[in-house]
Chains A and B, each alone.
Chain A
Amino acid sequence: MFDSSATIPARLKVDDVAGRVLLSGDWTVLCLSEDVLTAGLQMLAGRRRVVIDGLGIAAMDTSGARAVLDLSARLEQAGIERIDFKGFSETQRRLLLLVREMPAVIPPPPEQQSLLEHLGMVTLAILKDVLAYLAFIGSLTFQALYWLLDPRRIRLRVILAEIQIAGVNALPIVGLLSFLMGVVIAYQGGDPLDQYGANIFIVDLVGLTMLREIAPLVTAIIMAGRTGSAYTAQIGAMRITEEVEALRSLAIHPLEILALPKLVAMIVVMPLLIVFADLAGLVGGIVVSDLLFGVSLESYLERLPQTFLMPSSFWIGLVKAPVFALIITSIGCHQGFQVRGGAASVGYATTRSVVQSIFLVIVVDALFSIVFNTLDL
């Protein structure tokens, strides 16, 4: 048994003439299977005395002992009055005794929720989440006020580090995606304009859509996916390892060091990133209109300041920046602080953080559109 890794499957043979159940093979957890344990027992029904013979058992562990006891219980249920155990070794007998002492209680199955109950729970959870989010915003505002009252406590170093991570390191991806968006818009819009001979209006098209909508939105979506999710994961992991509680025990408010510097950094970084995205998008437009639609660089640059709704489009794009920054940071940090328990909870919170911030960003963007439209901007 010791050296060979080879195992013999557990076997059960019923000898209905002699009234014996012969067990053989390895009665161990890895060698037991369903078909073995139920085979042929009904042949013994109606007998008064049955012997369970364990002489052929090569090895037995606790699961095997449990299976043997289950076997005898099933025979007992079938109306057999006397069941004898024979052929078991001393250690196997001790094991059987030990397992028999442990009552075979099965815990109650988890409570099944009805559909209505489930619906109620989900609704309550959403309401609770909204309330908790409002409380979080309130608490964050208080911390910000403390900073304003006592500017020495502003953690400049932390803020700068966050600006580096959230802003500078995001430049390549924001630039590349905005450039591609500029290319796509010019390429898609250029064709119909070309048919009317209105090639120069490609500048209006690219300028208006990029500066007003696409640059802020693309930047916000990248930041939600790249930075907001990172905030959630970081704070969530710190919650699991009790680092958040450690801060609290050292008399430092967790928001002051974990959330507020991130918020300030994002509010600084978002407008700058949007301007960068504007430029990259315009460059994408220039490349396409110059190469494919015969609008030269000079005429493009000459046309740009005179385009429709300019320069208000540029400013409108920038006005959205701090709002988007607030949404992404507050949801990212809030979901991080909501993490309870284990690793799965961090993944769950990160998903919620990204989904909720992108959702809110787009909703707020739509509201902005309506407001600016009624204001004739």
Chain B
Amino acid sequence: MRAEPIIQLSGIHNCFGRNVVHEDLSLEVYRGEILGIIGVSGGGKTVLLHTMALLRRPDRGEVRIFGHDTRVITPAAERRLRLRLGFMFQNGALFSSLTVFENVCFPLDEHTRLPEELKREVVMLKIQLAGLETEAAAKCPRALSGGMVKRAALARTLALDPEVLFLDEPTAGLDPVTAGAFDDLVVELKSMLGLTVVMVTHDLDTLWSATDRVAFLADRRIVAVAPIEELTKNSHPAIAAYFSGRRVEQARERAWKAK
């Protein structure tokens, strides 16, 4: 399944002051895949995700999304592109002054001309798709548990039916059961809605159960992109170190048993 690339990064440089985060980084994301991005903490994974999602302009390098070069794009075209990308932030980034329902409804209010009734139905559809109860819709973000915040954030991200979903540590801080359910949800949504998913994660179970390919970020660039089984056999020292711990073995065993 080598579909067309929908996101192409080439020669990306990102730095904060003297701290160079990415140097000559290249990566391609194909339509319909779930791509995981891993690497050690502080290695610039979130920055990479922001660069892909047009939230950060790289200091040098080219970002092509759906074939458009984002350096020479008109504001109107950029706006249309953004509507096709959904970003789920690490801590949810729900608007704290709005209820969950209003959070999900917000992008619909801003960008669509749906009739009111259909809009309400669509909001509830997204909330249920994300696996939240109907009652949660009327709650404020601060009244939600960590797992519910993630689901509400996912519902808002899905509001405009984006083609690409960026997830920044979607299962961090969740218990294994909730995290597993979240992984299944992402896979299910991807197959049903034909999404492309790019996720940064530290969760080994997620890597084994949800991803099609995994990109390893080390030494300021992507050193390998491969399905997880292949990647674990990679001899690059950083990758070998990453996968040498006991936790990895356990995760692999769990994944095998699940299959």
Which A residues have a C-beta under 8 Å from some C-beta of B?
2-3, 5, 28-30, 32-34, 37-38, 61-63, 66-67, 70, 91, 94-95, 98-99, 102-108, 110, 340-345
Q: Which 6 A-B pairs have the closest CB atoms?
A: A342-B96, A61-B161, A344-B97, A33-B113, A34-B115, A341-B142
Chain A: minimal CB distance from B231 (Å): 28
The answer on a CB contact under 8 Å between B192 and A107 is: no
Closest to A111 in B: B138
Chain B: minimal CB distance from A181 (Å): 39
CA gap between A61 and B161 in the complex, in Å: 7
Further 16 A-B residue pairs, CB within 8 A, beyond A32-B118, A107-B135:
A5-B66, A5-B77, A33-B115, A34-B114, A61-B161, A62-B122, A62-B161, A63-B114, A63-B161, A102-B124, A107-B101, A341-B96, A341-B140, A341-B141, A342-B97, A345-B96
Residues of B contacting A63 with CB < 8 Å?
Answer: 112, 114, 118, 122, 125, 161
CA gap between A105 and B68 in the complex, in Å: 39
Closest to B77 in A: A5
A–B pairs, 14, beta carbons within 8 Å: A2-B6, A29-B122, A32-B114, A33-B113, A34-B114, A62-B161, A91-B194, A95-B193, A102-B124, A107-B134, A107-B137, A342-B95, A343-B96, A345-B97
Closest to A5 in B: B80
The answer on a CB contact under 8 Å between B125 and A29 is: no
The answer on a CB contact under 8 Å between A5 and B124 is: no
Chain B: minimal CB distance from A108 (Å): 8
CA gap between A25 and B56 in the complex, in Å: 34
The answer on a CB contact under 8 Å between B192 and A104 is: no
The answer on a CB contact under 8 Å between B142 and A62 is: no
The answer on a CB contact under 8 Å between A3 and B67 is: yes
CA gap between A5 and B67 in the complex, in Å: 11
Chain A: minimal CB distance from B186 (Å): 15
Residues of A contacting B124 with CB < 8 Å?
Answer: 102, 104-107
The answer on a CB contact under 8 Å between A28 and B81 is: no
Which B residues have a C-beta under 8 Å from some C-beta of A?
4, 6, 31, 66-68, 77, 80-81, 83, 95-97, 101, 108, 111-115, 117-118, 120-122, 124-126, 128-129, 134-135, 137-138, 140-142, 158-161, 192-194
The answer on a CB contact under 8 Å between A344 and B81 is: no
Chain A: minimal CB distance from B148 (Å): 15
The answer on a CB contact under 8 Å between B118 and A61 is: no
The answer on a CB contact under 8 Å between B125 and A94 is: no
The answer on a CB contact under 8 Å between B129 and A102 is: yes
Residues of A contacting B96 with CB < 8 Å?
Answer: 341-345
Closest to A340 in B: B142
Residues of B contacting A105 with CB < 8 Å?
Answer: 124, 134
The answer on a CB contact under 8 Å between B31 and A2 is: yes
Residues of B contacting A94 with CB < 8 Å?
Answer: 192
**A2-B4, A28-B161, A62-B129 in contact; A106/B113 too (CB < 8 A)?**
no
